[in-house]
Amino acid sequence: MGQQKHHTPEFFWNDNMTLLPWNEHKNSPAIGTVICAESEIPKIGGKAFSFGDAKEVFRMFIIRDENELRAYINGCTHFSGTPLNPNEVGNFLDSNDPTLIYCGVHGSRFLLSTGACVSGDCDGEGLQPVPINVSNGQVIIG
Ligand code: FES
C-alpha cells in the first residue's frame, strides 16, 4: 500500500486531481524549443533540465531508451511533483534494472519506455511525457 499522496493542485494537478498535461505547467518550453545537443544525453541514464525561476520552475529530464530518447516531467506523482533526483543526484535509472526510471525520494519505479508506474508510492500514476524529437543532432520540444 502506498503512502498518502500530497497533491498540490496549482502545481501538478488540475481541479479534478488529474495530472496537468506538460504544456499546461507554468514555464513549460514552447514547441520548437531546442533543449540540448543529442550528444549531451548520457549513453546510460538521463539529464535534467529546468525552465523558469525557483518559484515556478518547470523541470524535465531526457533519458536514453536504447536508440531513442524519451522526455518526462521531472516530478514524481507521489509527492507534489518532487524531482526524482533529490539534490540533483542520480541518473534517473534503477541501478538494479535499467529498463526502469527510479525516484530517489521514496523509490517509486516507472517504465522507461512509457513512464507508467510499476511499483512504489506512485501508486499507479505514471510520469508525464514531454514530446521531443531529434533533428540535426539537436533535441527539440515537439
Ligand atoms: S516522491 Fe515519493 S516515490 Fe517519488
Q: Is residue 2 part of a domain?
A: no
Q: Which residue has the higher pLDDT, 17 or 32?
A: 32
* Cα–Cα dist 137/142, whole Å: 15
Report pLDDT digits (tens) over 85-110.
988 888 999 999 999 999 999 999 99
Tally of domains in the chain:
1
DSSP annotation string for 86-124: GGG-S-SEETTEEEEEE-TTT--EEETTT--EEESTTTT
Q: Whose CA is nearest to atom 3 of ligand 1?
A: 106
Whole-structure pTM over 0.85, yes or no? yes
CATH number at residue 24: 2.102.10.10
Q: Which residue has the higher pLDDT, 18 or 69?
A: 69
Is the confidence at residue 128, as pLDDT, over 50? yes
* Cα–Cα dist 57/60, whole Å: 10
What is the 8-class DSSP label of residue 20?
Answer: P
Ligand 1 closest atom vs CA 106: 3
Q: Whose CA is nearest to atom 2 of ligand 1?
A: 106
Q: Is residue 75 part of a domain?
A: yes
**Residues lining ligand 1, judged by CB closer than 6 Å?**
76, 78-79, 82, 103, 105-108, 120-121
pLDDT for res 12: 61
* Cα–Cα dist 50/114, whole Å: 21
